[in-house]
Structure formats: structure tokens, C-alpha cells
Homo-oligomer: A and B are copies of this chain.
Amino acid sequence: MALKLYYNLMSQPSRALYILLKATKCNFESNYVDLRKGEHFTEGFSKINRLQKIPVIDHNGLLLSESVAIVNYLSREGLIPETLYPRVSRTRALVQEYLEWQHVGLRLHCAMYFRVKYLDPILLGRTPSEEQIKGYEERMVSALELLETKWLGRGTDFIVGNNITVADLWAACELEQPRMAGFDAKDKFPNIATWWAKVRQNFNPHYDEAHIILNKIVQKQQKASKL
């Protein structure tokens, strides 16, 4: 098969790519990378991606990592519909402006909160102090305020105008991550709540399918916190 995707649905950009390919009926070979077993650190996987990270695609022999580079490439190759990733240069520029901003503007802070509060205690047995969690939460909330007011809340339905694009899908998948650590952005941010529901609806049933395991973890955490 021409296109292979190496991914794990616990990874935000993996989910974004997986949902995009499913929603656009792009045919691909599914290669699940077992992060719990450290499969991304094996010699075999290092030949797929020397940086030992997912997602990765193999497209007719081209190995490519970094989800934003991947979606740009797939769009150039005609595999992503123009509706989701506009080809008009100015509109595309605004979609890319968001995708570039997201790395440190949003993703870093949501991912670090998830890692410190949820993942490190499980993987490393390292329990963060209340003060540490508060610091990570404050930085994440500041980032979410920018999403709420500077990218959303501008009188349009989506991040770039009134049409949904890959920028919205990439952003939504990042916001799912801190839910596993007990933080749901829609509780605090009304613009995010309204927009997020639309993104989910637009990409369903694939959005929910990609988040099955994540949502089970969220439910388990919620039950545990009520005990």
C-alpha cells in the first residue's frame, strides 16, 4: 500500500492525522506503535524515525515525521481535500500561522500539564507537588485564554473563518490531553466549548473512535477522584 501511518492514539498529533485520514477516506495501512512497551525506542522503529517519535508516514518510501510537515506534504500530494486545507495562498497562510503558533503557544503547555500531573506519576513514580501542578496549570490556562480570545472569539465559527480546517482538528486533539489529568477546557472557556463541539461533530464518528481509550481514562479518573 502506498501510504502507511505509524501512530498511537494516546498521542495528540497521531490522533489528528488518524482522524483526518479516516474522515477524508484516504486509504492507509495502519501501524500501531506500542508506546507502553517502548516500541518507539527499538532499533526497528529507529529505522522508521531516527528521532524515535510518532506520528510518522511512509509514502511510497518517503519516511516523514512531524504532523504539520506530514499534512503539508499530503496536501501537496493531493491526498487532503482543499476544503480542509485551503490552497488559496492567503487562507492557507492563516491556517499555517495557527499550526506554527500551536507548538509552543498551546501544545507545549497542555502536554506538560498532562505529563507532570498524569503521566510522570505512572511512568516514573514521581509525584508532583501542589505548587508544581499549579505552575503548569497557570501556564496552560494562559495558553487557553489566547485560544479563547485571539484565535476564537473573533466572530467566526472556526480558527480561520467560517470553514473548518486542519487547524481546528489539530487544536481540538491537543485539548483532549489535559482531560486525562482532570482539566476540561470547556468548563472554563465558552468560545472553546462551542467550537470544540462543532469540531467533534464535524469529524465524527472518527473523532470519537480515535478518543475511545482516552475517554475511558477520563471516566476512570473522574470515578477515582470521587472516591
Contact = CB atoms under 8 A, between A and B. Distances in A.
A66 interface: yes
A69 interface: yes
B108 A68 contact: no
- Tell me the number of copies of this protein: 2
A65 interface: yes
User: Mostly helix, strand, loop or mixed at chain A's interface?
Assistant: helix
Interface of A: 50-51, 62, 64-70, 72-73, 76-77, 89-90, 92-94, 96-97, 99-101, 103-105, 107-108, 146, 150
28 contacts: A51-B105, A51-B146, A51-B150, A62-B90, A62-B93, A64-B94, A66-B96, A66-B97, A66-B100, A66-B101, A67-B100, A68-B96, A69-B93, A69-B96, A69-B100, A70-B93, A72-B72, A72-B96, A73-B89, A73-B90, A73-B92, A73-B96, A76-B89, A76-B92, A100-B103, A104-B104, A104-B108, A108-B108
